[in-house]
Structure 1
Amino acid sequence: MSSQVEQNERAFQKQETVFSGRKRLLGKAARQSQLRYSKSIGLGFKTPREAIEGTYVDKKCPFTSNVSIRGRILRGVVLSTKMKRTITVRRDYLHYIKKYNRYEKRHSNLSAHVSPCFVVKEGDVVTVGQCRPLKDRHLQRRQGRSPGRHLGRQEAVPSFLSRAVPLA
Structure 2
Amino acid sequence: MALGLNVQEPDAVCDDDNCPFHGTLSVRGQTIEGTVASTDMDKTVVVEREYDVPVPKYDRLMKRRSRVPAHAPECLDLDEGETVTIAECRPLSKTKSHVVVSREGGDD
Question: 91, 95, 117: which one pairs with 2:75?
Answer: 117
* Residue 58 of structure 1: how far off its partner (Å): 0.9
Could you list the runs of 4 or more consecutive aligned residues of structure 1 that deviate by over 4 angstroms after TM superposition? none
* Residue 46 of structure 1: how far off its partner (Å): 2.4
Matched, 1:131 2:89: yes
**Which structure has the highest strand share of the two?**
2
Amino acid at match of 1:46: Q
* 8 Å contact kept, 2:35–2:84: yes
Match of 1:49 in 2: 11
Q: If the length of structure 1 is used for normalisation, what is the TM-score? A: 0.59
CA distance in 2, matches of 1:63, 1:144: 11
* Residue 136 of structure 1: how far off its partner (Å): 0.7
Matched, 1:80 2:38: yes
CA distance in 1, matches of 2:24, 2:76: 18
Alignment gaps of 5+ in structure 2: none
Question: 3, 20, 24: which one pairs with 1:62?
Answer: 20
Alignment gaps of 5+ in structure 1: 1-39, 149-167
* Residue 49 of structure 1: how far off its partner (Å): 1.8
Higher relative contact order (CA 8 A, sep 6+): 2
Identity across matched positions, percent: 36
Question: 41, 53, 57: which one pairs with 1:99?
Answer: 57
* Residue 61 of structure 1: how far off its partner (Å): 0.6
Match of 1:151 in 2: none
Larger Rg: 1
Instruction: Give the number of equivalent residue pairs.
Output: 106
Q: If the length of structure 2 is used for normalisation, what is the TM-score? A: 0.90
* 8 Å contact kept, 2:8–2:102: no
CA distance in 2, matches of 1:123, 1:67: 26
